[in-house]
Amino acid sequence: MNLKYFGTDGVRGRVGEHPITADFMMKLGRAAGVVLANGGKRAVVIGKDTRISGYMFESALEAGLAAAGANVLLLGPMPTPAVAYLTRTLYACAGIVISASHNPFQDNGIKFFSAEGEKLSPETEQAIEQELDKPFLTVDSADMGKAQRVDDAAGRYIEFCKGTMPFGIMLGGMRIALDCANGATYKVAPLVFRELGARVHLIGNEPDGLNINHQCGSTHPAVMQEKVISCGADLGIALDGDGDRVIMADRHGEVLDGDELLYIIATARQREGSLDGGVVGTVMSNFGLELALKERNIPFLRTTVGDRHIHRALTEKGWKLGGEASGHLLSLDRTSTGDGIVSALLVLEIMVRSGKSLSELKQGMQKFPQTMINVPVSAAGQQRLSGSEKIRQIVTDIEAELDGRGRVILRPSGTEPLIRVTLEGDDQNQVERLAKHLADTVREELMG
């Protein structure tokens, strides 16, 4: 389904450049109100991260929704998964998040949740886009929507997060280096871990509207690693700007990405008899995760990149656990969407129950060396990728050389004019050599 505005995860781009403008957001708010509220008075929940542009877009969306006759519940700065949770528990008809996730402050975007706290279907996104093409009409004054602040939103979400931990499991003085990325979790995350008994050493908890994700958070784990060592922490936790991703570090400062955290959760659940099926990853999940799960007879399924595809696969299979190397993990027995805090608590629960450290728990999975090269191409070049016989032949030759001990992934980026060339294998030098050769070929074939 070809959509004009919606990408891999909502509508995203540079602030001030179409469609990330105030006038478009007002139109988007009205279109969403027509489609999602369907002329009724059930409220739409709006949350945002800490970007300075969030103020402008919050007001624009509120105006558009009110023009469509939808009521609005304003949460203020709140993690993406909190918006999903509060959409359900406040019985709203939809949730909207103003965030560009792990991107810098110059970017922003809009993500939507259904009344069930799940990402919208492509069909619903298409209906919103069709409504965008219609004239901007305002309902009668007597039918306009109202807006109000939800003053206890943070407290509701903090209690939800703590409630995902089984009764009696406490963090009992565990020392945690916590990086909130100067983003949406800067208030709630420290309280969650402290109220469960942890001693928290904070990083990235002073947002100013411009420093979200800047040299901090899950995309810059070095800050967390250094904090773990300097304060003698038992582990580190790094969230991203909107709080739906988590990366962790062991007591030695060694980073564990989403694949390694998935392995820890999956094998612990297998031992407890609570795995309920297998694990869903993506085409970008490390080959080492696939092999490690296979050795333990845990089924593993790959989807295209994006949490909505993981969610769909989990639902279809009746499984509960999936995620991406980026740290976007889904545990559908705990919550409806990726949640960095809840995912971290899952791992901490395993540590408490087992009495083992992170470095001990990750033993058994060996990540394969991976090299990714981003090749800039035009939109037309992206479209020509699948039709290139020369590229297809080189991929075949590389796969033959890897001989079952590695993978080749070629995919157009969903958010940038790039082809992502990724290779995995058990020999780092071989992987780098082959990745460069393939990237050079893609550049020659598709840049013209």
Q: What is the DSSP string of 271-302?
A: HHT---S-EEEETTS-HHHHHHHHHTT--EEE
Find the largest Cα–Cα distance for the chain.
Answer: 70
Go through 132-161 and write b for each residue having 16 or more CB atoms within 10 A of its CB, e for each that does not. Answer: beeeeeebeeeeebebeebeebbebbbebb
- Give the strand order in the sheet containing 147-149: 11-14, 107-114, 94-98, 44-48, 72-77, 147-149
Tokens 């023009």 sit at which residue? 67
- Of 327, 410, 415, nearest to 372 by C-alpha is 410
Tokens matching residue 97: 């998040």
Within 10 A of 75 (CB to CB), how many other CB atoms are there? Answer: 27
| Angstrom distance (rounded) from CA 9 to CA 1 | 14
CA torsion sign, 127 to 132 to 137 to 143?
positive
Bridge partners for 113 per DSSP: 95, 119
Q: What is the DSSP string of 158-224?
A: HHHHHHTSPTT---TT-EEEEE-TTSTTTTHHHHHHHHTT-EEEEES----SS-TTTT-STT-THHH
Bridge partners for 330 per DSSP: 322
List, by residue number, the catalytic residues.
101
| Cβ-Cβ contacts under 8 Å for 322 (sequence gap 6 or more) | 262, 279, 280, 281, 310, 311, 313, 314, 329, 330
Give the type of residue at 29: G
